[in-house]
Structure 1
Amino acid sequence: MLRGLKTTLCSAAVCALLLVGPAAARQGTEPASAPPVPLLWKVSDADNAVYLLGSFHLLKPSDYPLSPDVDTAFAAADRVVFEIAPEEMGSPALGMQMGQAALRTDGTQLNSELPPETVAALDAWVQENASHLAAMQMNGQVLQMFEPWFVGLMVTIVELTKYGLDPAIGLDTHMAERARTANKPTSGLETGAEQIAFLDGMDPAEQLQFLQESLKSGAEGQEAVEKLHNAWRAGDADTLWREMALEMRDQFPKLYHRINVERNDAWVPKIAAHLEAPGSDDTLVVVGALHLLGEDGVVEKLRERGYEVERICSACATR
């Protein structure tokens, strides 16, 4: 499930699969805890700034309220930019578009291209999670209509929601609602169709491996989810870079380059344009945390362009 988890956390469009319908395991109120330490950077030129906020696309009620640092950045921003524009992210059309892209078109069923042991593992997982699939208007027969990459994502999303993570309260969704309430203009760095193309572009061998690893749930998967979620809450950029980015880059270089590096490279000039625009308007950019981290991340790519970059973390100074 580790690879599916990392891919899910790299793509806001994946969450549209749940945002258009009931979540598989919507949690009740959890005890309040200290605000998460934000993955937040300020990038400046001579007259304005862009704040970069690293998102976790699915969160728990106990992940709120957010840090005052995030509140300050939001208040300073004249506009908020997301991976995908909020109006597209919240549209049922996006989830349907992803499903249509993943539909099998050759008249065969999914099992026809899976090894026997993978068929058995998928059947066992479907039986164990029948109620969660039903909440998403899915079942084993419906899954047979799709490509392996899509079914791998469905497996991962169900496992994430069983842990209590919910896309309806993910950071992107929360910040989009705040922007709407505050009447701040919003936009996207890419379209949902572009995000879907990154996923649908996996070759058959990648897709099979993706599904097989997504089915390896249980204790190891639960521990991985907890480790990454806790690292995000702690603002631990080093652990997230090591556990999410480096492992994916080493084990799945083609997928890593496609869903992370290529997209970061496309985003950087769009983000820089906000800095270089005339006037002193500031911008808040909210994207998956992985996209901001390490030498392949947006933060370092903007630093290399000569902009002043600083991490905003008042909680870090007290540690």
Structure 2
Amino acid sequence: MKLIRPCLRRCGAVFLFLLMAASAQAQDCPPALPAPNPALLAQPPASAPDRGLLWQLEKDGRSAWLYASIHLGRPEWLIPGRRLQAALAASDTLALELNLGDPQVMQTMAAPVPGRPMLALPAELQSRMQALAQRYCLDLSPYARLHPVLQLGQLVVQSARDEGLGAEFGQEMGLMIQAQLRGLRMAGLETPTLQLQALIPASRQEALEEVREGLRQLESPEVRRQTRLLAEAWDQGDLATLEAYPQWCDCVHTPADRASLKRTIADRNPGMAEGIDRLHAKGQRLLVAVGALHMTGEDSLLVALRARGFRVTQRWPEPR
């Protein structure tokens, strides 16, 4: 498990915990990233640049919208571009992987995961995790009850602050701000338990190996380059680079790697497609945001939606 893999696969699952990171930082940490002007959030300018990737979904004579997220962002990314503003205006419901507006989601996320017993790390791995927490200025004590795989996700996102990226400026946060301002309902495509069971290996040995490999990647000087590549690909709407992820992430080498990627991404796509279809059938005008890797590969969410009868058209960037 390498840097980009845990970020793209796990950041959504630990998003609420990541928003608590600022309160868990030591006093000598770098200053917080500056927030954008609130007026630009309340009334986004028509000139705001479009970012990321946006698709229109059509079925039964009605439209929905699908937006790709990397769960991280820069302050200016909170301001929606013109096309995303139009999608927001056309929607009455914001659907995320998890319903982050539901207090019970937070409670479930903090509870033990059925079928995934808490894992006590060997002293060597625990020492390395603590060293990285100190390096990236993150107090792990508020997350001590989380599975180590999720604690690793905290470190992955915290490391992205070296590149000016934070979870508090991620796409989910920006969309939730807009949903509150515009009176949109909130919905979730998955339950926390279902998502966590997909993200945390059932096998103790597999979980230990994922933590070990994740720590090794975070200790590598390549961590910043990979984070930068991820951010640039999303910012530029570069789906080709995201599609090529298995080639540039240096993380898919063994059958276990491929099985893990399938479990955490492809195997979840049919369920999320079912959730989108169900909400759409109820007449809700949806804006959906899920992790960008779900839009890639032969078993992508886009493929699953087409199999359910949706016409899927990329609206940003416009295909050439």
Range of TM-score over shorter length: 0.7 to 0.9
> In structure 1, how many angstroms separate the alpha carbons of the residues matched to 2:50 and 2:163?
18
Matches within 5 A, 1:176-191: 176-191=176-191
> In structure 2, how many angstroms separate the alpha carbons of the residues matched to 1:156 and 1:101?
24
CA-based RMSD: 3.4
1:222 aligns with 2:236: no
1:298 aligns with 2:301: yes
Q: Structure 1 residues 51, 128: CA separation in 2 closer, same or farther (over 3 Å shift)?
A: closer
Tell me the equivalent position of 2:155: 155
Aligned match for 1:96, one of 110, 115, 129: 110
Tell me the equivalent position of 1:125: 132
Tell me the equivalent position of 1:307: 310
> In structure 1, how many angstroms separate the alpha carbons of the residues matched to 2:260 and 2:110?
23
Amino acid at match of 1:110: L
Tell me the equivalent position of 1:83: 97
Tell me the equivalent position of 2:5: 6
1:44, distance to aligned residue in structure 2 (A): 0.7
Amino acid at match of 2:211: L
1:239, distance to aligned residue in structure 2 (A): 0.7
> In structure 2, how many angstroms separate the alpha carbons of the residues matched to 1:212 and 1:188?
31
Amino acid at match of 1:160: A
> Which portions of structure 1, spanning 4 or more consecutive aligned residues, are displaced by more than 6 angstroms?
98-103
Amino acid at match of 2:4: L
> In structure 1, how many angstroms separate the alpha carbons of the residues matched to 2:223 and 2:236?
20
> In structure 2, how many angstroms separate the alpha carbons of the residues matched to 1:227 and 1:63?
16
1:186, distance to aligned residue in structure 2 (A): 1.4
Q: Structure 1 residues 245, 72: CA separation in 2 closer, same or farther (over 3 Å shift)?
A: farther
Deviates more, 1:258-267 or 1:221-230: 258-267
1:245, distance to aligned residue in structure 2 (A): 8.8
CA deviation map 1:248-278 (0-9, x unaligned): 666412222221122111111221234444x
Q: Structure 1 residues 316, 16: CA separation in 2 closer, same or farther (over 3 Å shift)?
A: same
1:40, distance to aligned residue in structure 2 (A): 0.8
Amino acid at match of 1:259: T
1:78, distance to aligned residue in structure 2 (A): 2.3
Tell me the equivalent position of 1:171: 171
> In structure 2, how many angstroms separate the alpha carbons of the residues matched to 1:206 and 1:238?
30
Unaligned runs of 5+ in 1: none
Amino acid at match of 2:274: P
> In structure 1, how many angstroms separate the alpha carbons of the residues matched to 2:59 and 2:106?
39
> In structure 2, how many angstroms separate the alpha carbons of the residues matched to 1:308 and 1:210?
37
> In structure 2, how many angstroms separate the alpha carbons of the residues matched to 1:150 and 1:185?
28
Q: Structure 1 residues 188, 194: CA separation in 2 closer, same or farther (over 3 Å shift)?
A: same
Q: Structure 1 residues 127, 258: CA separation in 2 closer, same or farther (over 3 Å shift)?
A: same
Q: Structure 1 residues 90, 224: CA separation in 2 closer, same or farther (over 3 Å shift)?
A: farther
> In structure 2, how many angstroms separate the alpha carbons of the residues matched to 1:137 and 1:8?
20
Tell me the equivalent position of 1:236: 238
Matches within 5 A, 1:39-118: 39-88=53-102, 92-94=106-108, 96-97=110-111, 104=118, 109-112=120-123, 118=125
CA deviation map 1:170-205 (0-9, x unaligned): 111211221122111111011222222223334233
Q: Is the 8 A contact 1:38 1:69 kept in 2?
A: no
> In structure 2, how many angstroms separate the alpha carbons of the residues matched to 1:97 and 1:237?
36
Unaligned runs of 5+ in 2: 41-46
> In structure 1, how many angstroms separate the alpha carbons of the residues matched to 2:307 and 2:109?
36
> In structure 2, how many angstroms separate the alpha carbons of the residues matched to 1:90 and 1:250?
38
> In structure 2, how many angstroms separate the alpha carbons of the residues matched to 1:270 and 1:119?
38
Q: Structure 1 residues 249, 214: CA separation in 2 closer, same or farther (over 3 Å shift)?
A: closer
> In structure 2, how many angstroms separate the alpha carbons of the residues matched to 1:169 and 1:98?
28
Q: TM-score, normalised by structure 2?
A: 0.79
1:85, distance to aligned residue in structure 2 (A): 0.8
Tell me the equivalent position of 2:49: 35
Structure 1 SS opposite 2:210: helix
More helix by share: 1
Amino acid at match of 1:83: E
CA deviation map 1:114-140 (0-9, x unaligned): 5xxx566446434534xx123x546xx
Structure 1 SS opposite 2:234: helix
Deviates more, 1:215-224 or 1:196-205: 196-205
Q: Is the 8 A contact 1:153 1:214 kept in 2?
A: no
Amino acid at match of 2:240: D
